[in-house]
């Protein structure tokens, strides 16, 4: 069935027609039914069609197509009437506007809208919209000012954060995670949903995200999905998103693309970012150069600890990796390393020069990935600097990227999803 994804508020009211008799309208979509609401992403089992003779139920298997005008095409006209004591969950009637409570039963917010999507081989409930854009859509603002709804940031809760529903007419919807973890759908969860979608739908979801969130989500996806999404997004938007990605992830992604496409993307980027990424892309994937990121924090030896901390706060480094600070001169020649621990423990007026570690392990950009991982393991370090022949800093390889490079792809795929989620909850 070529229905990909959408918000229920936008789907209800759509016309239903029978395959082969496309000129006659059977009715309009009134609701969707779920038979087993206990699943993580519950499967939609049927469509409630409001016909002239009242509400009728169409099994989801009967829906054969959604045509260009958004009309639902069914194989045969729905005939099953809905019994008043029907034991099923009706998405709009039973879930819209319901109270969401957290693990402690505290009220969080109400459900504004529900997103369903074709994923995991079925049409499923994937997320609850709890944001302003959902409210605007419900109020019909989309028809008057579609741009306003589009521009309003979306706030979604992935449906697997919701405790399995047992009641078919739940008084409230209980979450399984703490409220403060729910501010937004986490990129890895978003990625999990996206990777189950077809490329066109995934691109549509990514398009609706801001650049930063989209970049986070893309980082969590496999190379094939990344590529196809980028193609659907168009060069300009793709370049914007790649710029927001971590440098090493961005380089990996670019490295997989044909040179022509690379050049187009580089042309759309800020010149500074483009130069940096070009440098990274040039290296082979399985070398230190290919693994490294240029997002690291470097400092000058003559400053004091206090001044350095102040400087770091002032510039607010983009790098996520702040556990080691690399001491360099104006040429970027690597002079020493300072751990975050030293920075915190030493008195603020000590010059960096006096406390930095000068016996440094480093690798060349051509060092194979396994050897880099070996060095990191042997010296028990969290990251290893990559330098050229003149001992000038090129970047660093962090321990997680080193591990990623040496663990076989199969093992990574075997990691169950809940492990990822658990990690997120405990960090």
Partner 1 sequence: MIGAPTSETTAPVRAARRLSFRARIVLFLAILGPGIITASADNDVGGITVYSQAGAQFGYPILWTLIPITIALVVVQEMAARMGAVTGKGLAGLIRENFGVRWTFFVMIAFVGSNIFTTAAEFAGVATASDIFRPNSHYITVPIVAIGVFFMVLRLNRKITERIFLGASAIYFTYVISGFKAHPHWHDVWRGFLIPTVQGNAGYLWMIIALIGTTISPWMCFYIQAAIVEKGIRARDYALSRIDVIFGCLVTDFMSFFMILCTAATIFVSNVGSAHPITITVAADAARALAPLAGDFAQFLFAFGILNAGIFTASILPLSTAYFVCEAGGFESGVDHRFSQAPVFFSLYAAVIAIGATMVMLFPTEQLLKLINFSQILSGVLLPFLLIFMLILSNKTSLMGIHRNSRLFNGIAVVTAVVVGAITLLSVYQTVTNPS
**Residue ranges binding partner 1 (CB under 8 A):** 84-86, 88-90, 93-94, 96-100, 106-110, 112, 135, 138-140, 168-169
**Which residue pairs from 7-10 have beta carbons closer than 8 angstroms and sit at least 24 positions apart in sequence?**
7/113, 7/114, 7/115, 7/129, 7/134, 7/137, 8/32, 8/91, 8/92, 8/96, 8/113, 8/114, 8/115, 8/116, 9/113, 9/134, 9/137, 9/138, 10/137, 10/142
- Cβ distance to partner 1 smaller for residue 97 or 270: 97
- Cβ distance to partner 1 smaller for residue 122 or 141: 141
Do 365 and 283 form a contact (C-beta atoms < 8 A)?
Answer: yes
Q: To the nearest 10°, the Cα dihedral for 310, 311, 315, 319?
A: -100
Q: CA-based Rg of the chain, rounded to a whole angstrom? A: 26
- Cβ distance to partner 1 smaller for residue 125 or 369: 125
Q: What is the 3-state composition of the chain as percent helix, strand, coil, each rounded to the nearest 5?
A: 40, 25, 35
As measured in angstroms, the least distance from the Cβ of 283 to partner 1 is 49
As measured in angstroms, the least distance from the Cβ of 130 to partner 1 is 8
- Cβ distance to partner 1 smaller for residue 169 or 419: 169
Q: What angle do CA 389, 395, 399 make, to 5 degrees?
A: 120
Q: Is the dihedral of CA 47, 49, 55, 59 positive or negative?
A: negative
Residue 128, SS3?
strand
- Cβ distance to partner 1 smaller for residue 138 or 154: 138
- Cβ distance to partner 1 smaller for residue 19 or 97: 97
As measured in angstroms, the least distance from the Cβ of 101 to partner 1 is 9
- Cβ distance to partner 1 smaller for residue 101 or 402: 101
- Cβ distance to partner 1 smaller for residue 88 or 163: 88
Question: What gap in Å lies between CA 154 and CA 135, rounded to an integer?
Answer: 10
Do 32 and 116 form a contact (C-beta atoms < 8 A)?
Answer: yes
As measured in angstroms, the least distance from the Cβ of 84 to partner 1 is 6
As measured in angstroms, the least distance from the Cβ of 107 to partner 1 is 4
As measured in angstroms, the least distance from the Cβ of 86 to partner 1 is 6
As measured in angstroms, the least distance from the Cβ of 176 to partner 1 is 18
As measured in angstroms, the least distance from the Cβ of 15 to partner 1 is 22
Taking each helix axis from N to C end, the angle separating 211-219 and 247-255, rounded to the nearest 10 degrees, works out to: 70
Question: What gap in Å lies between CA 130 and CA 143, rounded to an integer?
Answer: 20
- Cβ distance to partner 1 smaller for residue 110 or 278: 110
Between strands 324-328 and 297-299, the pairing is: parallel
Residue 389, SS3?
coil
As measured in angstroms, the least distance from the Cβ of 153 to partner 1 is 17
């Amino acid at each position: 069935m070529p229905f990909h994804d959408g918000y229920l508020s936008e789907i209800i009211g759509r016309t239903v027609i029978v395959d082969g008799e496309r000129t006659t309208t059977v009715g309009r979509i009134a609701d969707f039914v779920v038979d087993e609401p206990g699943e993580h992403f519950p499967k939609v089992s049927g469509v409630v069609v409001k016909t002239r003779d009242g509400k009728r139920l169409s099994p989801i298997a009967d829906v054969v197509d959604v045509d260009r005008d958004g009309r639902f095409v069914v194989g045969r006209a729905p005939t099953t009437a809905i019994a008043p004591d029907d034991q099923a969950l009706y998405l709009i009637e039973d879930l819209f506007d319901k109270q969401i409570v957290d693990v402690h039963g505290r009220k969080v917010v109400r459900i504004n809208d529900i997103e369903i999507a074709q994923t995991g081989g079925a049409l499923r409930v994937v997320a609850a919209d709890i944001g302003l854009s959902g409210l605007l859509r419900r109020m019909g603002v989309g028809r008057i000012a579609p741009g306003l709804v589009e521009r309003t940031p979306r706030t979604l809760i992935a449906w697997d954060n919701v405790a399995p529903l047992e009641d078919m007419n739940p008084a409230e919807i209980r979450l399984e995670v703490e409220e403060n973890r729910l501010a937004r759908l986490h990129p890895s969860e978003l990625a999990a949903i996206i990777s189950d979608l077809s490329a066109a739908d995934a691109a549509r979801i990514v398009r609706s995200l801001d650049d930063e969130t989209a970049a986070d989500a893309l980082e969590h996806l496999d190379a094939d999905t990344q590529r196809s999404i980028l193609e659907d997004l168009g060069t300009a938007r793709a370049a914007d998103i790649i710029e927001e990605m971590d440098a090493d992830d961005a380089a990996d992604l670019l490295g997989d693309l044909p040179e022509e496409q690379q050049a187009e993307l580089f042309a759309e980027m800020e010149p500074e970012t483009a130069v940096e990424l070009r440098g990274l892309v040039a290296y082979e994937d399985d070398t230190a150069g290919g693994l490294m990121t240029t997002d690291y924090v470097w400092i000058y030896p003559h400053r004091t600890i206090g001044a350095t901390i102040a400087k770091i706060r002032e510039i607010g480094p983009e790098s996520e990796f702040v556990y080691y600070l690399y001491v360099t001169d104006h040429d970027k020649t690597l002079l020493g390393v300072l751990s975050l621990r030293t920075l915190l423990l030493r008195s603020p007026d000590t010059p960096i020069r006096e406390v930095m570690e000068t016996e440094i392990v480093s690798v060349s950009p051509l060092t194979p990935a396994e050897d880099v991982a070996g060095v990191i393991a042997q010296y028990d370090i969290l990251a290893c600097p990559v330098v050229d022949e003149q001992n000038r800093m090129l970047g660093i390889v962090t321990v997680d990227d080193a591990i990623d490079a040496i663990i076989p792809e199969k093992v990574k795929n075997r990691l169950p999803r809940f492990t990822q989620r658990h990690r997120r909850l405990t960090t």
